[in-house]
């Protein structure tokens, strides 16, 4: 994917006055549920932003961003080329991703079985993190907030997460009625925030982010900056950051089964807890337009699709040259434990029935899932380096997971190595916050683009990248309707 690097906006420094009552934090929860925070209905900005509440304000930002990330993972990024789901008890209604996100205000909905709205909570968490950083920088010194430097680093990390997310999955981005940013400018903004966080950590030392997020804020910031840099095409700098990560490192989106529904693991509660989502097999039913990038028809079986019985051959092969996954049906193959699924009773509507397979990666509503993990650092470096380095790095991942290592590839086989990496990325990031979706965008892989439907005979939606909702363009004085989708990379505009 061709990337044009644009200068980033300056971040902090000045307060973004947005003129609305806060709907995010601040009543102290039990000490084992620090992210369980609620706000009085009409708290004012001045009354909420006081130094004694700094820790709770930070927990509020984390809670909103984590809940939004959980809902996005469950209801947008979990596939929808590879899954089918039902709404209000009926199969259908949500296939592939829509071109614009829902704009409801509450993450995780009002009932356990409702898909929440992740767009506004992402913005709420971002806004809170930026506001908190500015207050700590300009108003509250260490005598007022003893853990000031750690909170500033944490606020910078979570502001960066939001900008990374928007840059990875949207065509254009705006924040707090500000000017329009391109998707890569949003990634550059994220990079600045992670650099800011690393500056605080370099001065004051590494630390853990509480409630099980991570034991190393420093590695979290390095890995997230590697992601933002890689997304912009700054490959050498991305590799430098990726090489700071140690094997076994993870930063989590933390969940809590006994808390409010906003703390549930939404992949579990939406996909298994109510049996709403069925993982698809290889997509061999789609008949749509040719590949918009090459002009060639898509194969009869869409490459890199299907999650049933994924496996690896003794020589390390996980995918055929055509992009079809190796499964347990292939002689000698062993199961790939990174993609645990199980066949359950068939589901359907009317006369349409179909095998139903459910994920077993997350086993309860309290299961954490990875926001950033060491395998991603290895795979960033592998994608940049190619050749034997890519093979060696993937083999380190395979060894860590007890899987067959790659012996079938030659270092000079560039096409074979890319083919291998695409399947490795798909399996590594199974049901993890859209990492596979962003890989599909990077490599211009298949999206149904509103054509045809799935095996349940329900129509696919238009989403490739997303665009911000109509209201963002109607109400923001810096924007006009014709800007919607105007900054989409080639072949990724969902509005055409």
pLDDT in tens, 12-27: 333 333 333 333 333 3
34: which DSSP letter?
A: T
Dump the DSSP string for 312-353.
Answer: E-TTS--B-TTSPBPBTTSTT-EE-TTS-EEEEEEEEETTEE
In this prediction, residue 164 carries a pLDDT of: 97
In which band, very low, low, confident or very high, does the pLDDT at 110 lie, cut at 50, 70 and 90?
very low
Strands (E), 351-405: 352-359, 369-373
Cα–Cα dist 154/171, whole Å: 27
- Taking 60 as the threshold, does the pLDDT of residue 124 lie above it? yes
- Taking 60 as the threshold, does the pLDDT of residue 410 lie above it? yes
**With pLDDT > 90 as the criterion, what percentage of the chain qualifies?**
59
Which residue ranges make up each domain of the chain? 10-280+343-384+429-452
- Taking 60 as the threshold, does the pLDDT of residue 436 lie above it? yes
Stronger pLDDT, 2 or 399, i.e. the higher one: 399
Q: Which helix (H) or strand (E) holds 203?
A: helix 183-204
- Taking 60 as the threshold, does the pLDDT of residue 111 lie above it? no
Q: What is the pTM of this model?
A: 0.88
For range 336-344, the mean pLDDT: 92
Cα–Cα dist 11/157, whole Å: 13
In this prediction, residue 29 carries a pLDDT of: 31
**pLDDT tens-place string over residues 161-192:** 999 999 999 999 999 989 999 999 999 999 99
Alpha-carbon 316 to chain mean position: 27
- Taking 80 as the threshold, does the pLDDT of residue 258 lie above it? no
Q: Any bridge partners for residue 169, and if so which?
A: none
In which band, very low, low, confident or very high, does the pLDDT at 273 lie, cut at 50, 70 and 90?
low
Stronger pLDDT, 46 or 443, i.e. the higher one: 443
Length of the chain: 496
In this prediction, residue 360 carries a pLDDT of: 92
For range 180-208, the mean pLDDT: 97
**pLDDT tens-place string over residues 62-77:** 999 998 998 888 777 7
Question: Any idea what the Cα angle at residue 207 is, between residues 206 and 210, rounded to 5°?
Answer: 160
Stronger pLDDT, 39 or 279, i.e. the higher one: 279
**pLDDT tens-place string over residues 466-494:** 999 888 888 899 899 999 999 999 999 99
- Taking 50 as the threshold, does the pLDDT of residue 235 lie above it? yes
Judged on CB neighbours under 10 Å (0-12, 13-18, 19+), 447 is: buried
Token representation of residue 221:
């910031």
In which band, very low, low, confident or very high, does the pLDDT at 276 lie, cut at 50, 70 and 90?
low
In this prediction, residue 347 carries a pLDDT of: 63
- Taking 50 as the threshold, does the pLDDT of residue 37 lie above it? no
Distances (CA, A) of 374 to 194, 215, 223, 224, 243: 17, 13, 8, 11, 10
Choose among 173, 165, 167, 208: nearest CA to 70.
165
The mean pLDDT value of the chain amounts to: 84
Q: To the nearest 10°, the Cα dihedral for 450, 451, 457, 459?
A: 20
In this prediction, residue 13 carries a pLDDT of: 33
In this prediction, residue 80 carries a pLDDT of: 60
Cα–Cα dist 185/277, whole Å: 35
In this prediction, residue 357 carries a pLDDT of: 83
In this prediction, residue 142 carries a pLDDT of: 95
Question: What are the two backbone dihedrals, phi and then psi, of residue 335, each rounded to the nearest 5 degrees?
Answer: -65, 140
Judged on CB neighbours under 10 Å (0-12, 13-18, 19+), 351 is: exposed
In this prediction, residue 11 carries a pLDDT of: 40
In which band, very low, low, confident or very high, does the pLDDT at 84 lie, cut at 50, 70 and 90?
low
Cβ neighbors of 203 (< 8 A, separation 6 or more) are 149
Choose among 372, 371, 373, 367: nearest CA to 272.
367
How many Cβ atoms are within 10 Å of 1's Cβ, its own excluded? 12
For range 221-231, the mean pLDDT: 98
In which band, very low, low, confident or very high, does the pLDDT at 97 lie, cut at 50, 70 and 90?
low
In this prediction, residue 26 carries a pLDDT of: 34
Cα–Cα dist 189/180, whole Å: 13
Cβ neighbors of 89 (< 8 A, separation 6 or more) are none
Dump the DSSP string for 226-289.
Answer: HHHHHHHT-HHHHHHHHTTPPTT-EEEE---TTS-GGGS-HHHHHHTTT--EEE---------P
Dump the DSSP string for 402-432.
Answer: T-PPP-S--TT-HHHHHHHHHHHHHHHTTTS
Tokens 């129509």 correspond to what residue? 459
- Taking 60 as the threshold, does the pLDDT of residue 31 lie above it? no
Question: What are the two backbone dihedrals, phi and then psi, of residue 182, each rounded to the nearest 5 degrees?
Answer: -75, 165
In which band, very low, low, confident or very high, does the pLDDT at 372 lie, cut at 50, 70 and 90?
very high
- Taking 50 as the threshold, does the pLDDT of residue 3 lie above it? no
Cα–Cα dist 31/400, whole Å: 34
Token representation of residue 99:
């071109």
Question: What are the two backbone dihedrals, phi and then psi, of residue 343, each rounded to the nearest 5 degrees?
Answer: -80, 135
In this prediction, residue 397 carries a pLDDT of: 98
Q: Say whether 87 sits in a helix, a strand or coil.
A: strand
**Weakest-pLDDT range from 137-151, 338-352, 368-382:** 338-352
């Amino acid at each position: 994917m061709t990337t044009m690097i644009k200068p980033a906006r300056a971040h902090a420094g000045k307060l973004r006055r947005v003129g609305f009552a806060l709907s995010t934090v601040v009543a102290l929860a039990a000490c084992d549920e620090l992210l369980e925070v609620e706000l009085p209905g009409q708290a004012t900005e001045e009354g909420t932003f006081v130094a004694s509440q700094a820790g709770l304000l930070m927990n509020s930002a984390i809670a909103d961003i984590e809940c939004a990330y959980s809902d996005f993972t469950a209801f947008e990024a979990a596939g929808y080329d590879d899954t089918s789901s039902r709404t209000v008890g009926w199969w259908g209604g949500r296939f592939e991703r829509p071109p614009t996100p829902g704009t409801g205000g509450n993450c995780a909905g009002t009932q356990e079985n409702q898909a929440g709205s992740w767009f506004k909570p992402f913005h709420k968490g971002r806004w809170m993190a930026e506001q908190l950083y500015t207050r700590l920088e300009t108003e509250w010194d260490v005598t007022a907030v003893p853990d000031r430097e750690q909170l500033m680093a944490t606020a910078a990390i979570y502001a960066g997460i939001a900008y990374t997310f928007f840059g990875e999955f949207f065509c254009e981005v705006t924040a707090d009625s500000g000017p329009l940013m391109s998707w890569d400018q949003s990634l550059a903004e994220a990079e600045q925030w992670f650099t800011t966080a690393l500056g605080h950590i370099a001065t004051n030392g590494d630390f853990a982010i509480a409630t099980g997020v991570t034991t190393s804020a420093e590695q979290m910031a390095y890995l997230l900056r590697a992601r933002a840099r890689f997304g912009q095409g700054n490959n050498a700098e991305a590799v430098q950051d990726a090489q700071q990560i140690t094997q076994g490192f993870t930063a989590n989106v933390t969940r809590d089964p006994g808390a409010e529904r906003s703390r549930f693991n939404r992949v579990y509660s939406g996909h298994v807890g109510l049996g709403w989502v069925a993982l698809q097999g290889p997509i061999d039913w789609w008949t749509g337009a040719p590949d918009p990038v090459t002009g060639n028809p898509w194969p009869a079986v869409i490459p890199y699709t299907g999650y049933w019985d994924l496996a690896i051959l003794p020589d390390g092969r996980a995918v055929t040259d055509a992009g079809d996954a190796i499964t347990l049906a292939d002689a000698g193959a062993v199961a790939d434990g990174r993609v645990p699924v199980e066949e359950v009773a068939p589901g359907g509507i009317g006369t349409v029935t179909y095998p139903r397979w459910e994920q077993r990666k997350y086993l309860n509503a309290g299961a954490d899932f990875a926001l950033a993990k060491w395998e991603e650092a290895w795979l960033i470096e592998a994608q940049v380096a190619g050749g034997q380095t890519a093979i060696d790095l993937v083999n380190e991942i395979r060894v860590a997971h007890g899987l067959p290592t790659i012996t079938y590839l030659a270092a000079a086989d560039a096409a074979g190595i890319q083919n291998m990496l695409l399947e490795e990325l798909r399996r590594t990031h199974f049901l993890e916050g859209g990492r596979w979706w962003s890989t599909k965008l990077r490599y211009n892989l298949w999206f149904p683009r509103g054509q045809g439907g799935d095996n349940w005979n329900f129509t696919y939606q238009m989403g490739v990248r997303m665009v911000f909702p109509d209201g963002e363009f109607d109400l923001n004085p810096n924007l006009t309707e014709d800007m919607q989708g105007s900054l989409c990379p080639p072949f990724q505009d969902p509005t055409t």
